[in-house]
Every structure is written in structure tokens, then in C-alpha cells.
Structure 1
């Protein structure tokens, strides 16, 4: 795998487009669009200068931006139009999924600009960090087997709530070859098209599911040591924490049901862990308690033991004592709503009914 340095940040004739999705993001969307417009202006001369071998005739069109709106009522559509970006209103008579919104934006972008090579996907509550685009495109240009590159996503206000801090720590993942990305990433168009884009039936976890299909076709997903985006989770209540974890459990179950095999038990470990800690183990403890309360009480200690194990892992990654402790505790508590997400998926499969998207804000 090629490495990159300051001299490597030269872009070899790329064409770039942006796909943003959102609904009622308000000022967060304005911050998102603003970060794109600022870097869009700075990146085009670099692209053109490289194309023209050090000439200064900057006649390349600015990278196009398309915003896919999912029924906003806060003036988002009008704002995006006012800054000369394209808007696609998603058909809300069909069940909404973020995957369908991203596919719609991708299809629109490629219809209008078929020569695009790279697409930056970004959620409307995020903003691109300065310098990310040049570094990410440079990395893909010298690593042809990489389909997607992503970097460090940071929470804007991790100090406001423990739930925001939890998000920030979740995104602090190892650098290098990885299994999946989140909602913000730079993708190679040919790779995305090769696997048919996002699965529109996935109501959550659509990015890891697509990454799984990319890896099956021998594409790589790579996280580089660069600041990518800032995110405003705006997660201020336990209810939001609960719903976010319920959605995560649903996504694990859906991906496992779709792709797990004996040779590749995709997401099976996660689903088993959720079911064990939130259902099976509590039943075992409750069954033992009438006959041997001390043994039952001893088994309960497995929960703080697991939280402590996670706490140690986060401390080793140079997180603060308080944040690491909160992360360990909330990770264990989160197994319960995740189990409800798993059961929600199972009930949907049994009844044959499609489940509506699970939103936490």
C-alpha cells in the first residue's frame, strides 16, 4: 500500500462531485455547505493547474454539489438553491432510507456529470475539514485498489453531553485497512458502480453493508491519518442514546441476515454478543437467583467487569479517565436497546412488514 507525504498531495486529473443528504438540519446544513464551497474554490485551481502542466488557465468547472432533501420544512431547500447548488427532493411516498437518498444523489450526479471519478459523500450535519479533499483524492489516485478512503470524524461539541462524547470516541478508530466507513467518505466512482451502490432496503448500516460487498470484490477500504469531518450529533437525552443504539442493533441483525455464512459469519459475533448480554445472561442470572443468590450476585459482576475491560482499552488510546469510564458503562447499557433493535428486525422478518427508519433526532 502506498504511503503519502507532502509531495504526494498532487491530484492527477480527477473530477470530483459531492452528495449531501439531510432533513431539517438548519444551521448544520449551512455549515456543511459552507465548508464544501470554501474547499471547492480552493481545490479547482489545483486540479486545473495539474491538468495544464503548470499553466494558469483555470477553466475547469467547479466540482458539482447535489443535496438530496428528505422532506425538510426549515428552508433547507431554498438555502441550498440560493448558493447555486443542485437540489433533489426525495420521493417521500416511498419508504425513506438514507441509502436510497445517497443512491438518488449519486444517480443525479452521474447523469449530469458522467466524467466524475470521485464522489465525496457527506451527511448534512457534518462539515469537511480544511485540506481533507486534496489529501484524500491524492491517496486514492496512487492506490488504485482502494475503493473508499475516510479519515477522522470528530464531534463538534463532545463536552456538552456524555452522549456526544460517546459518539466522538466511537469514531476514533485505527488507521489503515479497515472493514467499513461511516456516512462521510470519499469514494471511487467505478468501485461504487461495480457493486450497485447502496442497498436501498437497509434502514441503517448501509455504509458497512456496501463496504462488505466492495471487499468481496477485492476492493480495499482505507482510513488515513487525516482530519476529515466534524459532526454535530446534537444528542442531549437518554432517549436519543436509546434510539441510536436500537438502530445499531437493527443494522447488525440486518447485515448478518443478508450476508452471514459459515465461511464468513458477517456480524454474527455482534448479534450474539447483544443477545447474550441483554437477554440470555440476565435469564440465567434470574434462574439461578432463587436457588443460589450469592452465585447470581457474583455473575452480575460480569457486567462491570466488561465495562472495565472497555474502559482500559480506551485509556490505552489516550482518552481521559472520565470519558473512558463513561464509554465503558454506556457501551454495556447500550446492549439493551440494541437487543430491542435485533428483535425489531426479527419481528419484521417474521411478519413480512418493512420497518420504518429508526431516527434519534
Structure 2
């Protein structure tokens, strides 16, 4: 296991000591002499921890985003036996491609088992499974759903690690090798990896390759006990079989959102889950507009039931008062088409910059005014993005109606849509032009938001719309 400084992290020296500094977002941590030597070693190359104390310190820096960690199979004292579980119904061609990709895995075949669970296929899916050497199991139903099928596969699996992949996916050679080392952490129940698009032929393929809800982004994440909504998708999910059994497996009553429910139950039971932007699985996304919209709608319908099953889970957002005031003034300027709020917003920004610089100076680090003000502008933009994304995701239809009745609100809505979309476009980097991206982005928000409203209406539970605001 090796550690290195994360991109954009620098060491800043001052008369009162040395600091690790992140510009995006603007954060710092003071370095004592031992920690300074440790971080200076990482300037030249990645390092290995030489003691338990160093491991503890480095892991804390990983968690806070200052350091990145790289693991490999050699970090495991013993390679675990793995059972790959694949639910399938009427996907013979996809299943063949999936099973062929598993034959190329960089993992010892003698401790690898492939279990295919047929959910009542009417095509050659069962024949393909046996032909390519998988253990074929019947789900006992016709279209019982992926949750039921995965549970059936897990019940006959012999491995201590269950690796779930869907039949319309293919695994990269290092799928297991990239993710299994995470289980060195004995508190970890499950780890998920990068989900890439299998095709790039159409604009929608290229959009889905980076914007699918199965793709959790380029940043490592982890979650334990708590009330946030972080989860792992089941198309690229490795899990301890013991934790799976203790949690009761997937809820077979759920046709969508079953992976969200299971990973939340694991966290509620005291386990930790982790996402790593590696261990790639390639997914054949829906490449036609209507199926794409239908799937987003279906995903949205799960929110009402999930909120009822997990009432402690809530969407939360930190609201720094000064930055929130600046953002509200900018929105007011757009909604009223007036320049009057802008000087007040500029004054608040300068005040916030001065206070931030003062706080940093008290800790012994003085950065240039320009660097701090740029960081605070980015912080306002970040706050605007997260609030704007929530509004677009859950309130786009009523916002469109409001804009039709009061056109100046339409200007604010258009700026919000383009701003939020531009952030996702630049961060996700789809291989397409921005106008095409905006078209599918609009369809996604409308489809998902409609699904949320439909699902919440059926459950008579609209808690999914609630955003818990936390004052900084």
C-alpha cells in the first residue's frame, strides 16, 4: 500500500510553521516536524507507511482529501475466495460477453467461482451460462427481479467475498485486483468501483458513460453510521458474504433501489462501505431516448419507499451564512433584473475574504488576497451548484411553470440550469458538445423528478423533497 499527495495539494511555509494547503476547496492542516518530514517524502514519490502510527496519520489525511492511497493484491495477507453472482433474464448475447470478460480476470481461477442466476429466461441465457462454465442456478420465478436472483446466487455461493455484476456488463481485467485490497479494513462490508459506458457510438452513449447514476464520480468516498445518502450500485459491488447474510441480503420486494436499501442497512448495522474510482466495469447503457427517460423515471420512483424504509436518511447541506447571503443577492439580481443587489454582494464577499484571511493568519499562514478571494468565489459557486442541483432535480417542473407565469424568474432558472450543467460538463468531461449535453441533462432532470413525485405520491411520503440545511 502506497500513499502520495493528492493533486493540487502543496506545502506552504510561514514564520509559524508549515502547512498542507488545498486550494479547491481552500483548506489547510498544520504540520508538526514529524508530519512535515512525512509529507516531504511524498513530494518525490509515493511512500509506504513504516509503522502503525504512520498508517493512522496517513489514513486520516486520505479521509480529509490531502493524500491519496493506492493498494494492490500484494497488500492482502491471503487472497480470498470470490463468488461472482450474475442475475440474468433474456440477455443471452450480453451474458456471453460478460462471462467471456470474466475469463480474462487477473485473479487465480482456483479461488474464483461464477454463479449465473436465471430469472425465467425464454432465450438461450441458461445454455450460455453452462457452455461457458458458470454454475447455473434458477431463481424459482419468472421475472422475480434482480434482488431475488442475487439472493439466490448468494445462497449457493462458496466464496467469502460476493462480487455482483450485471449480465449487461463486462469486467475489466483488474476489476477484482483493484477492489479486493480494500477488505484489509476489517470494518469494511462492501466496496464499489468505477462504472464506465460500454459504447460511445451515439451522443446518449457518451452522456451516459459519465452521467449515469451508476457512475459515482472520480473521488473516493466512504460512509459508516450516519444519516447521509451515500450508497453503492449493485452492478459493480463486492461484499463480505458474512455481512450480506447478517443484513438479510437484498430486499426482493424492491425492483429498483434494492442496492441503496442494502448498503444503507449495512451502514445502519455499524459496517463501513467504500467507493473507489477504479476496478472498472463496463455497462451497456440504454442508448435510446425513451428507454433512457423511462429508466431515470423508475430510479426516481424508489425515493418515496426508500425514505419510508430509512427515515433517518436525509439530504443535508452546509450553509455558511456569509456565502449564503452572497448567493441570495445574486439570485435576487437575476430574478428582478436589477443591479442593486450586486454592490452589497461584492461588499459581503470582501468581508468574507477578510475574515477568512484573518482566521488563517491567526493560525500562522498568510496567503495573498487574490488567492483567498478566488477561493471564496469558488466556494460561492460550489454552494450555488449544490443548491441549484437540488432544485433542478426535485423542483424543475414547478420552476418552469413559475417562469411561464413570471418571466424574470425564467432568467434566473436559465442561468441556474446552464451553471449547474456547465459544472457537471466540466467535471464529468463527456465526449460531446455542451448543447447536446444540456439536452439530455434537461431530459434527465425532468424524468427523474417526475419519478420522484410519482413514487412519493404513491407512498404518501414527500420527505424526499426535504433538504436539511446546516448552518456553518
TM tier, smaller = 0.7 to 0.9
Gap regions ≥5 residues in structure 2:
1-58, 63-68, 223-229, 318-386, 461-472
The one of 119, 127, 139 equivalent to 1:78 is: 127
1:120 paired to 2:163: yes
Map 1:33-48 onto structure 2 (within 5 A): 33-39=99-105, 42-44=106-108
Q: CA deviation at 1:344?
A: 3.6
Deviation per residue, 1:113-145 (Å, 9 max, x gap): 2xx2111100001111012212322221x2112
Aligned to 2:220: 176
1:167/1:92 CA distance change after superposition, 3 Å: same
- Which runs of structure 2 are paired with 1:125-140 in the superposition (5 Å)? 125-140=168-183
1:281 pairs with 2:347: no
Match of 2:344 in 1: none
Moved more, 82-91 or 16-25: 82-91
Answer whether contact 1:149 1:222 (CA < 8 A) is retained.
yes
2:40 is matched with none
Q: Distance in 2 between matches of 1:15 and 1:200?
A: 26
Counterpart among 187, 201, 220 of residue 239 in structure 2: 187
**Which moved further from structure 2: 240-249 or 209-218?**
209-218
Q: Which residue of 2 aligns with 1:253?
A: 304
Q: Does the aligned pair in 1 maintain the 2:194–2:236 contact within 8 Å?
A: no
Against the structure 1 CA distance between its residues 99 and 327, is the aligned structure 2 distance closer, same or farther, given a 3 Å change threshold? farther
Residues 135 and 343 of structure 1: CA distance in aligned 2, closer, same or farther (over 3 Å): closer
Counterparts of 1:228-243 in structure 2, within 5 Å, are: 228-233=280-285, 235-243=286-294
Show the counterpart of 1:355. none
Counterpart CA distance in 1 for 2:79 and 2:287 is: 44
Distance 1:4 1:329, change over 3 A: same
- For 1:284 and 1:175, locate their aligned partners in 2 and report how far apart those are by CA, in whole Å: 36
The one of 143, 147, 150 equivalent to 1:99 is: 147
- Pick the aligned partner of 2:90 from 3, 24, 30: 24
* CA deviation string 1:322-356 (max 9, x = no partner): 35554444233323322432344245446xxxxxx
CA distance in 2, matches of 1:250, 1:273: 16
What's the Cα RMSD here? Answer: 2.9
Q: Distance in 2 between matches of 1:7 and 1:198?
A: 28
Specify every segment of 5 or more residues in structure 1 that has no aligned partner in the other structure, as ranges: 46-60, 290-295, 351-361
- Name the stretch that deviates more: 338-347 or 68-77: 338-347
Aligned partners of 1:336, 1:318: CA distance in 2, in Å?
20
Instruction: Show CA shifts across 1:188-220 (max 9, x none).
Output: 112222221111122112112211112222322
Structure of greater relative contact order (alpha carbons < 8 Å, 6+ residues apart)? 1
Contact conserved, 2:193 with 2:276, CA < 8 A, in 1? yes
Whole-angstrom CA distance in 1 between matches of 2:134 and 2:432: 43
Partner of 1:163: 204
Q: Are the counterparts in 2 of residues 259 and 266 from structure 1 also a CA contact under 8 Å?
A: no
Q: 1:199 aligns with which of 251, 258, 265?
A: 251
2:78 equivalent to 1:12: yes
What number of residue pairs does the alignment pair up?
313
Are the structure 2 counterparts of residues 257 and 335 from structure 1 closer, same or farther at C-alpha, using a change threshold of 3 Å? farther
Residue 86 of structure 2 contacts residue 166 of structure 2 at CA under 8 Å; is this kept in 1? yes
Q: Tell me which moved more, 21-30 or 339-348.
A: 339-348
Residue aligning to 2:190: 148
- TM-score by length of structure 1 reads 0.77
Tell me the TM-score normalised to structure 2 length: 0.60
Take 2:73 and 2:204, find their aligned partners in 1: how far apart are those partners? 40
| 1:161–1:172 CA distance, 2 compared to 1 (3 A) | farther
Map of 2:113 onto structure 1: 64
Distance in 1 between residues matched to 2:457 and 2:140, nearest whole Å:
27
The secondary structure found in structure 1 opposite 2:266 is helix
Contact 2:232 2:259 in 1 (8 A): yes
Matched-pair contact (CA < 8 Å) for 2:161–2:240: yes
